[in-house]
Amino acid sequence: MMNQVLYAIIRENGKLTFVEKPIQHVQNVSKAELCKFHNYATSLNSAYSSDIPRIKEELLNNNNKAYRMDAIDMQHAISELKKNNDIVAFSHRYGGWRHFDWNFGEKVTFHIYSNFGFGASSDFTATFKYNNVILAPFSYYVKYRDSDYGTVTRCTYQYDLNYSEWKHIMQDCLSFYNAIAENNEAYLVNWLNSQLSTMVGGLEDIMNSNSYGFFNSKYNYLRVSSYAELDKDDFWLIKSRKIAYSLMFVTNIEALPCQINKVGYIKRLYNLCTKFKPMLRNKIKEEKYKLDVILSQIESLEKQGDYPLYSRLYNKFGYRLTNYRTIYRLLHIAKRIDPSITKAEIRERIEKFTVLKREIDDLGNQKRKLQLLLNSLQEDAKKMDDLLLKNKINCQHDSLVLETV
């Protein structure tokens, strides 16, 4: 049996309780029942495993019977649990896009999203809501290398694609709810302040650092496996993108409960971008100068030796000139035209050209990297200017900020 237990949260006498119910094996299941379509993901993260299709009875065998029996056992356990309890939440293996709202009380709800059995598109997330305000894990913006505004605000937590994660997700939700239900307002305020302080403080550290350590997970997983220390241009790409887009969070911060010092966090983000703007402009200026130097070097080298001949031949023969034997043959043709050219001279010219071509190719690779870096930095600079202009009036006058929040 694939799933030994069914996880659930039930309401008893006004209280919420987490339970684990053993999944019992259903007896005397007919072949017809086994061969039906079952909405059951045999694997939560593998492609083409989101359901068990209907088959003819003659195709039923021991290999496919086990999965079908697991699906029936689990659905029976869910039905029995619903029949005998006031169910608030339960675990499942339903394939494809599934959305559940767990309503724990007036103020606290959780939106559970799963997409089991779809390979790289598989997903398992929980969005915590307090008074319909989504609680975003702002700290993940600086914690994870590839997290951006979209991934941070899409959900509160993302979970691993394992069935046992249902236990973690329910316990996380229940802990949060209990803190609110017990009027422990400080729990929510402290959580939000911790998230915002980590994000804003982290961005300030990033701005003033030449390197920074990030987790490599693409999204905001609770459990991570790899860590990377970035520096030089790799770090600059991350630094400029995260700082430039940080003001996108202003709207989310404004929507938070009034106990949060929203004005303070917003002004820190505005000041951060204002201070970073000249740093980014100087970086762009430096990279442009480097690019101009390389372009000048390439232009000079392309006029030397046999490179002009190579360029003309390449325009005619294209990719075939990547084989230097082709050039060798063509120079032998030149010998027929000018018999004074010796084989030794031809070999020497080929050797010199090979060195020259390698140097030009190396500079070309540097040029392409610089162009990619510059394009990204210039895009970030424009985005930051747009966001600074949009938020300028709010961040310059506290009274106006207070009115908007």
DSSP structure string for 16-76: EEEEEEE-PPPPS--HHHHTS-B---SSSSSTT-S-B----GGG--HHHHHHHHHHHHHHH
For the segment 120-134, the average pLDDT, to the nearest whole number, is 89
pLDDT band at 103 (very low <50, low <70, confident <90, very high): confident
Share of the chain above pLDDT 90, in %: 63
pLDDT for 108: 85
pLDDT for 328: 65
Alpha-carbon distance 114 to 17, whole Å? 23
pTM for the full model? 0.77
For the segment 194-210, the average pLDDT, to the nearest whole number, is 96
pLDDT(171) > 90: yes
pLDDT(295) > 80: yes
For the segment 80-106, the average pLDDT, to the nearest whole number, is 91
Residue 107 has a CB neighbour count (10 Å cut-off) of 14
pLDDT(396) > 80: no
For the segment 343-360, the average pLDDT, to the nearest whole number, is 84
Alpha-carbon distance 33 to 44, whole Å? 23
pLDDT band at 316 (very low <50, low <70, confident <90, very high): confident
pLDDT digits (tens, 9 = 90+) for 4-52: 899 999 999 888 999 999 999 999 999 999 999 999 999 999 999 999 9
Answer with the residue of higher pLDDT: 120 or 204: 204
pLDDT for 142: 94
pLDDT for 186: 84
pLDDT(223) > 70: no
Based on DSSP, count helices (H) and strands (E) in the chain, helices before strands.
13, 10
Alpha-carbon distance 281 to 284, whole Å? 5
